[in-house]
Amino acid sequence: MKVVEGIFKLSLCGSQGFLNLVLTLMNILLNFPTYTCISNAFEDRKN
């Protein structure tokens, strides 16, 4: 996720939408975690 943020200068929420779009266009059925889940995991790693 951090790679997508760094390359495309997207926020966590923007990164989630971007990855969901890419996976949808590739016809890959994959449940991606929500922004809240990602944000909480990121905060847990910082502390």
Question: What angle do the packed helices 35-46 and 12-25 form, to 10 degrees?
Answer: 130
- Lookup: tokens for 33: 């975690």
Which of residues 41 and 12 earns the better pLDDT score? Answer: 41
Query: Is 42's pLDDT higher than 80?
Result: no
Q: How confident is the model at residue 1 (pLDDT cuts 50, 70, 90)?
A: low
Cβ atoms of 35 and 13 within 8 Å: the answer is yes
Q: How confident is the model at residue 39 (pLDDT cuts 50, 70, 90)?
A: confident
> Rg for the chain (alpha carbons), in Å?
11
Domains identified in the chain, total number = 1
The whole-number average pLDDT for the span 27-32 is: 80
Which residue range(s) make up the domain with 31? 2-46
